[in-house]
Amino acid sequence: MRGVDASLRGLGRAPFAGRLAPTLRIVVPLTVLVVLLLVLPHSGDWFHAWLPELSHPLYTRTSFAALTLTHVWLVAAATAASVILGLGLGILATRPSGRSLLPTVRAVAVIGQTFPPVAVLAIAVPLLGFGSAPILLALVLYGVLPVLGQSVAGLEQVPASTLHAADGMGYGRWRRLWEVELPLAAGPIMAGVRLSAIVSVGTATIGSAVGATTLGSPIIEGLIGNNPAYVVQGALLVGALALSVDGLLGAVERRFQRVR
């Protein structure tokens, strides 16, 4: 899971978020998000001043708050499903009985990430129709990979001597998993969850191309209708949301990492 690790490290050192103190990494993007949600609905005049040739400088088909809510809901549902699937598969693949699955799981995780989400949509729409379903499927398929990769990596790095001692003390299999392995793997697993959620925040926008209502709606409508103001409004909100999620889940991750 080197690839995942490397990309995670990249995210952790994102140009400006990386240099902010931990609490600022939550407070600043959240504040920006809230301010945007309050200000954007009244910003028609500014966008008109900037792009006077547009007849509709402000996206009004759905309120920005509603778009953000459905977007967050999509991401949350996809991330929850990814965690259940990814962690479940990761646990399975690291049990003695499931160890034969490990190479396959690794290969799928790596190949899966080279598969573009748009292609998933193209396959899913004929099966699931338009709306939220195909994008949810794409988000879950995509979101599972980092969680799975990090779960396997986290569980594998628990020292063998610790597991040997746990067995010798008389831990049962599941109790050992719950009380020893998962706490020790929690840091890497949370890193996977964070990556999964952030990728979903970005990827969910393309769901609007197949009929889902997301923060991608103004972006896609702006691209089709040649309206850069819509694109900017959607992109600002997506960016602030992504950084907020990153900050919040990063704090959870650091808490878990401090366990050791």
Partner 1 sequence: MIEFEHVGKRFGERVVIEDLSLRIDDGEFFVLVGPSGSGKSTLLRTVNRLAHVDSGIVRVDGRDVSSVEREALRRGIGYAIQSVGLFPHRTVAENIATVPRLLAWSDADVRARVAELIDLLRLDEPGIADRYPHTLSGGQQQRVGVARALAARPRIVLMDEPFGALDPVTRESLQTRLKAIQRDTGTTILFVTHDMDEAFRLGDRVAVMLDGGLAQVGRPLDLLHRPVDDRVRDFVGGTHARLRELAVRTVGGSMRVGDRADGEPVDAADSLQDALASMLAQRRDRLPVRERGAIVGAIVLGDLVAREP
Is residue 96 a contact residue for partner 1 (CB under 8 A)?
A: no
Among 2, 127, 168, 174, binds partner 1 (CB under 8 A): 168
Contact with partner 1 (CB under 8 A) among 15, 55, 169, 174 = 169
Place of tokens 């040649």: 226
Residue listed under structure tokens 């609490």: 23
Phi first, then psi: what are they for 227, rounded to 5°?
Answer: -120, 90
Side-chain-facing half-sphere of 159: CA atoms under 13 Å: 5
Tell me which of 183, 224, 252, 255 binds partner 1, using CB under 8 A.
Answer: 183
Tell me the angle at which helices 182-203 and 2-12 cross, rounded to the nearest 10 degrees: 70
Please pick, from the candidates 93, 184, 189, 201, the single residue that binds partner 1 as defined by CB under 8 A: 184
> Does residue 172 bind partner 1 (CB under 8 A)?
yes
- Judged by CB under 8 A, the stretch of 87-95, 112-120, 177-185, 203-211 that binds partner 1 is 177-185
- Pattern 140-159, binding to partner 1, x per CB under 8 A? -------------------x
Could you tell me how far CA 252 lies from the centroid of its own chain? 14
Whichever of 45 and 179 has its CB closer to partner 1, that residue is 179
Shortest gap between Cβ of 158 and partner 1 (angstroms)? 9
* Overall size of the chain counted in residues: 260
Report how many residues bind partner 1 under the rule CB under 8 A: 19
Rg (CA), the chain: 21
Helix 22-39 with 64-93: angle, nearest 10 deg: 140
Q: Which residues bind partner 1 (CB under 8 A)?
A: 159, 161-172, 175, 180, 183-184, 259-260
